[in-house]
């Protein structure tokens, strides 16, 4: 990579965090202010930087390109190797569900070694209040988006452990957001349970969830919880591949 390109990319990352003065940019690069100014002027001319009250920040063209890239990012091919590794390691079914408009949809399913085939299928919508992946996504939505989901849920019980009221479901989502993972304790089918964690995009938004699902007779919930460190790392790895920086606040 040429030094000029490397410096330009370093500047963009630097003022993406917050607006920076010319002096800050020069110090960050370790160059004279005149050199930093030439680079900033070039970025500004291309729409990748703009000057606001004597400080530089991300230009509107850069913002538009970033949004376009995120909107067209294909989640499945990015996540697939991680899902296969997880399925091979534990031998259970791994699901990836994505937030698509106002639905949560299974977009990938990997059966691990020896895993019995689940009835779930790619393209199937998720029952939000009785699934680990549904809860893992809803727990991190803003209030408006969450309310849209809750307004459509009848809370009809499927099993004895199904959550049956909006109040109880909101409390469960708050617990999930605090601890960082969700579970399905046989709430849709009493013989199936799972644990799930969120997946974030480059902007830090939760856009999907990944889960390990098993028949209760083969792996009870307490056993699936033991897999949470690896499952969490899988969710984090997929998020990183989507451009999320874990060191930045979502």
**Which superfamily, per CATH, for 73-241?**
GAF domain (3.30.450.40)
pLDDT beyond 80 at 234: yes
Mean pLDDT value across the chain: 87
pLDDT beyond 80 at 97: yes
What's the pLDDT score for residue 136? 96
188 and 72 in contact (C-beta within 8 Å)?
A: no
What's the pLDDT score for residue 68? 56
pTM of the model: 0.70
Structural tokens at position 5: 């390109």
pLDDT range class, residue 250, cuts 50, 70, 90 = very low
> pLDDT tens digits for 11-37?
888 888 789 999 999 999 899 999 989
pLDDT beyond 90 at 208: yes
Domain boundaries, the chain: 3-69, 73-241
Number of Cβ atoms within 10 Å of the Cβ of 246? 10
3 and 38 in contact (C-beta within 8 Å)?
A: no
Any long-range contacts for 10-13 (C-beta under 8 Å, 24+ apart)? 11/36, 11/39, 11/40, 11/43, 11/49, 11/56, 12/43, 12/48, 12/49, 12/58, 12/62
201 and 70 in contact (C-beta within 8 Å)?
A: yes
As a residue count, the chain comes to 250
> pLDDT tens digits for 114-159?
556 666 777 778 888 899 999 999 999 988 888 888 888 888 889 9
CATH of 3-69, one of 3.90.1150.10, 3.40.50.300, 1.10.10.10, 2.60.120.1130: 1.10.10.10
């Amino acid at each position: 990579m040429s030094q000029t390109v490397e410096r330009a990319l370093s500047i963009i990352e630097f003022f993406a965090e917050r607006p920076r003065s010319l002096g800050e940019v020069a110090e960050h690069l370790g160059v004279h202010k005149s050199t930093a100014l030439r680079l900033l002027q070039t970025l500004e001319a291309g729409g990748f930087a703009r000057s606001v009250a004597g400080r530089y920040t991300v230009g509107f063209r850069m913002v538009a390109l970033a949004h376009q890239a995120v909107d067209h990012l294909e989640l499945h091919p990015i996540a697939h190797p991680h899902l296969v590794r997880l399925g091979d390691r534990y031998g259970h079914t791994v699901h990836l569900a994505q937030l698509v408009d106002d639905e949560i949809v299974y977009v990938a399913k990997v059966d691990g070694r020896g895993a019995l085939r689940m009835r779930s299928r790619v393209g199937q919508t998720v029952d939000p209040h009785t699934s680990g992946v549904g809860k893992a996504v809803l727990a991190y939505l803003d209030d408006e988006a969450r309310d849209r989901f809750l307004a459509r849920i009848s809370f009809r019980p499927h099993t004895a452990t199904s959550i049956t009221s909006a109040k109880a479901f909101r409390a469960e989502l708050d617990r999930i957001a605090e601890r960082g993972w969700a579970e399905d304790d046989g709430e849709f089918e009493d013989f199936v349970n799972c644990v799930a964690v969120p997946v974030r995009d480059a902007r830090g938004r939760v856009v999907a969830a990944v889960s390990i699902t098993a028949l209760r007779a083969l792996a009870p919930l307490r056993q699936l919880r033991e897999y949470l460190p690896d499952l969490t790392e899988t969710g984090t790895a997929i998020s990183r591949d989507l451009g999320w920086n874990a060191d930045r606040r979502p």
